[in-house]
Chain A
Amino acid sequence: MRLFALLLLLCCSMQSYSQDCNNTLYGSLLDIHDGSVLTGATVIVAQTGVGVLTDLDGNFVISNLCSATYQLQISHPSCSTKAFSVLIKDDTQKTFKLEHHLESLNEIIVNGKKTNRATKSIYENLVDQKTITTFSSGSLGDALNSISGVSSLNTGNTVVKPMINGLHSSRVLIINNGVQMQDQEWGAEHAPSIDINAVGTLKVIKGAGALQYGGNAIGGVVIASAPKVPLLDSLYGKTIFSGSSNGLGGTVSSSLTRSNQNGLYTAFQGSLKRYGDFNAPNYNLSNTGVFERNIAATIGFNRIDYGVEAYYSLFKNEIGILRASHIGGAEDQVQAIASPVPSIINDFTYNIDAPRQDVTHHLARIKGFKNIENIGLISLQYDYQQNNRLEFDVRRGSNKDKASVDLVLDTQTLTIDVASDISEKLTTKFGIVGSLQTNYANPETGVRRLIPDYDKYSIAGFASGNYDINQKWVLEAGFRFDYTHMNVFKFYRRSFWQDRGYDNQFSDLVVEEIGNQLLVNPKLDFYNPSFTIGSKYSFGLYKLFANYSLSSRAPNASEQFSEGLHHSASRIELGDLQFTSETAHKISLTLQKIGERVNFTITPFATKIDDFILIEPTGIRQTIRGNFQVWEYRQTQAQMYGLDLDANLSLTDNVRFVHQFSLVKGYDKTSNEPLISMPAANTLNSLVYTNPNFNNISIAIQSNYVFRQNEFPNTNFEVVLPDSIQTVDISTPPSGYHLLNLNITAAIRPDMQVGLYVNNLLNTSYRNYLNRLRYYADDVGRNITLQLKYNY
């Protein structure tokens, strides 16, 4: 292809004769599809043979040009080479666009920086393909953890739930290939149902600035997108094998893409992940294995100006939950917390027994877009998702193999939006989103429903626009309104219904009385406006982002309808039928510097949340199974502030120092107590050596220090045992800890890359405040992963 273009150029080239040969061409090079800058592309002037490379920002400069038409050949390792003719008259500025798609065989050369952002006034954090590859054997949550300000709420080491600036669950939207994941994200022990190996780029928007995705993103938005497909005739793919010493298992992931110049493309991707019990430094973590299987297929037709795409993916994950974490009431908790080792330690096995989760997520999407002159880009998307969540508890007799939780969540969504360039400076986007969701709890479980059956209808409209005032200033604003209607059928225990006084307030909702249970049919409506305004100011090497957002979220089914014992937490959780929406105001600033040797971003933020829904302990309940702590959801005023810092310092051409620091503080303003489960301050420091000339080797040594969380509400409680009264210390956070990691990657052939990743190099024993299993066992010890990546 490149040769062909060059030949054409040679055939068609012309000599130009002119007097004035002092002109300069200032060019910049972008990806035709997403406007990414293309770095390291070769630009050759056919007539003179002079060649230059584009710099980090995709710019290049060619001097001493005459006033004439020149032929340029621009080639980039991951694009099809193209020829351009450009008329030079005086000093000329011109933007060139290439098809930047093919994942490069040797990835360091690609430095795609996105310029088309979901929001302009909030700094967006990006996890690139290279980093994602290092998490091939981990999870989406693990990869997101590499971003400053993003932490995770863990259940063991395999259920990793992303947390943005201390907020999680329904406050963090996860967008998978343009579809908002509806995977029962309300539960703290529910990880996102996304295969990390199917993700091409991962973006995090901290806060609710990206209104097209939802106005309820009080925490933020995670956007996972599949790799883009080039518009050229090609068949390519890659396979990644990983094997790990901890868990004695591995991951195989493979993808294959067929693309055609005429725009037709198909892509397949699959991965398989299998691990046995993981190990803490001093013992086996019994029943922590994982078995994950995923496939995805895409077929589409893209003609740049219009296109359609159909996408389907299946995610299936079986996860063992630490056996020693399945306990009874407070008496058992006292023993578990007092014991330095888990109460159950068996030999290593690949078997996954109860307690375990088995999650299946289907996602099907069809999307079309069309660019209509004078109107803009119109997109239409329909998606269907089904999430089936099975949770198996340790049960007795004939119920042994029966799930205790069997929920099926079906969601359909239809989205229509129009993106228009009103003028050179003003772009707008309008859209309408309608969705229908049904939750069905299988009665075969023989366990009262954790989440009741419901139908949820919602419709939303949004409008956003941004205005480039001049080269330096960009303004943006957006508005969204969501209406939600829920039709719920729930069985309440009569004793609870009366205890709460619902029998006086809501007696008209009762449909039927069966034994000691009441069938109740609440119909709930929520109206949620959201709004954002912000600007970006560029000066010299610096950019300043400033954004204010107002977001509003309807309570979820778990917050409203929990009523009973939550086995995996060994506590009774109670929701409230009367909750209203929570409303958040967030101000965030980012100062970014992109210098030659020093790059940094610093992002302070402050959030005020009205009617913040939190769950906290309120007392002890006696049951025949012993005493259980009761946790009740309630609404309060919350305030949070913090700071995320990223810095990148080039020490020499080959060595750089990378620094990250995240801090968040959260307070309940009603009780004047710190908020529970806030991530502790942490800092990540790495020294990275790279040498593109020596097998593109990269050696990184990383230090991760997590401080002890010093601010927490005291939720300890006392329990009467047969022979004593004991305090159950469930609130004191564990000590801070330091982990050392080592990452080495090298290209042994242009199409083959090996990686050696050592996590927790010193085999440090530690417990993390945000790991729900921290009472029962240490976190995982040293893990050595060997990875082979093959491109074809």
Chain B
Amino acid sequence: MKILQLNSITDLKFQTMKTMKTMKNISFYALLSIAMIGCSDDDTAPEVINDEELITTVILTLTQESGDQVVLTTVDLDGDGPDEPVTTVVGNFSQNTQYQGAVQFLNETEDPAEDITEEVEEEADEHQVFYTVSEGLNITTTYLDFDDNDNPLGVNITLETGEASSGSLTVTLRHEPVKPNDGLESAGGETDITTSFDVTIE
């Protein structure tokens, strides 16, 4: 009566000592390497990054034929930081007058300040500046510059005033708006700049 013991997990006799030694070695070297990497604690300071595409400053200069100017400026040097943008209006508009307008976008955290207007003009088909006027303020604007598809850009405009009134003039720069469009409402895209000025026609 021969019973063959097939009941088998693989024979478990092996070189226990040798394996243990290997394990010890592995753990030793692993610990050593992690300790070494851990100790190479370089306290070198990272380099500063100034936001490259930041627009800190908008200057809208409106000049009438006589040379008199109205200058509208907004400055926000800390970008999306807690300091609010500072808006200044120098001069009042005259009644029933035509002005030549030019807007400038600057990054003043760089020295010298970077003129972002150039980039906007180079990528005219991807940008548009919108000028919106509050109700009761007698101002109309007309685009003077156009992209390759003959859609308006709005870096250069003419601005015509009517009778004496006051209200707000808002400048909005949109990146990648739908072009052509019927104005801000339907333009979509991403707002890069929006700033309002309280102006007076006298």
Contact = CB atoms under 8 A, between A and B. Distances in A.
A493 interface: yes
A395 to B, nearest CB: 6
A617 to B, nearest CB: 15
A515 B137 CA distance: 40
Interface in B78-96: 78-85
Contacts of A12: 2-4, 6
Contact of B78 (A344, A449, A516): A516
Interface in A611-648: 621-626, 628
Contact of B6 (A8, A412, A625): A8
Contacts of A496: 78, 81-82
A263 B11 CA distance: 12
Contacts of B41: 455, 487
B7 A84 contact: yes
A494 B74 CA distance: 20
A540 interface: no
Interface stretch (B59-67, B146-154, B187-195): B187-195
A382 B45 contact: no
Interface in B82-141: 82-85, 109, 116, 119-120, 122-123, 126, 132, 134-135
B170 interface: yes
Contacts of B142: none
Interface in B38-85: 38, 41, 43, 45-53, 55-58, 74-85
A268 B147 CA distance: 54
Nearest to A434: B34
A411 to B, nearest CB: 11
A306 B10 CA distance: 12
A228 interface: no
B49 A445 contact: yes
Contact of B9 (A32, A397, A628): A32
Interface string B165-202: 00010100001101000001100111111111000000
Interface string A1-38: 00001001100101000000000000000001000000
A305 interface: yes
Q: Which size bracket describes the interface of B in this complex? A: 35 or more
B49 A443 contact: yes
B23 A378 contact: yes
Contact of B122 (A328, A344, A397, A565): A397
Interface stretch (A329-337, A672-680, A749-757): A329-337
A446 interface: yes
A81 to B, nearest CB: 11
A9 B109 CA distance: 87
A515 B10 contact: no
A328 B123 CA distance: 19
B144 interface: no
Mostly, the B contact residues are loop
Interface string A514-547: 1111010100000000000000000000000000
B80 A564 contact: yes
A326 interface: yes
B18 to A, nearest CB: 11
B111 to A, nearest CB: 9
B81 A495 contact: yes
A436 B191 contact: no
A45 to B, nearest CB: 14
A335 B53 contact: no
B12 A304 contact: yes
Interface residues of A, number: 84
A331 B14 contact: no
Contacts of A491: 46, 48-49
Given A441-B46, A443-B46, A514-B48, A412 B34 contact: yes
A396 B123 contact: yes
A394 B175 contact: yes
Contacts of B45: 489, 511-512, 519, 521
Given A489-B45, A495-B82, A412 B37 contact: yes
B49 A447 contact: yes
Contact of A332 (B7, B79, B190): B190
Given A378-B23, A394-B176, A397-B122, A623 B79 contact: yes
B161 to A, nearest CB: 18
A447 B51 contact: yes
Contacts of A332: 188-191
B3 A625 contact: no
Interface string A408-442: 00001010100000000000000000101000010
A396 B175 contact: yes
A347 interface: no
Interface of B: 1-10, 12, 14, 16, 19-20, 23, 26-27, 30-31, 34, 37-38, 41, 43, 45-53, 55-58, 74-85, 109, 116, 119-120, 122-123, 126, 132, 134-135, 168, 170, 175-176, 178, 184-185, 188-196
Interface of A: 5, 8-9, 12, 14, 32, 69, 71, 82-85, 97, 231, 263, 303-306, 324, 326-329, 331-332, 335, 343-344, 368, 370, 372, 378, 380, 382, 394-397, 399, 412, 414, 416, 434, 436, 441, 443, 445-449, 452-453, 455, 457, 487, 489, 491, 493-496, 499, 511-512, 514-517, 519, 521, 564-565, 572, 621-626, 628, 722-723
Given A372-B16, A394-B176, A622-B85, 20 more contacts: A5-B6, A14-B1, A85-B6, A306-B14, A327-B190, A327-B191, A332-B190, A343-B188, A344-B188, A380-B23, A396-B53, A396-B116, A397-B122, A443-B46, A495-B81, A495-B83, A499-B81, A511-B45, A625-B194, A722-B168
7 contacts: A394-B175, A396-B119, A396-B126, A496-B78, A496-B81, A496-B82, A511-B45
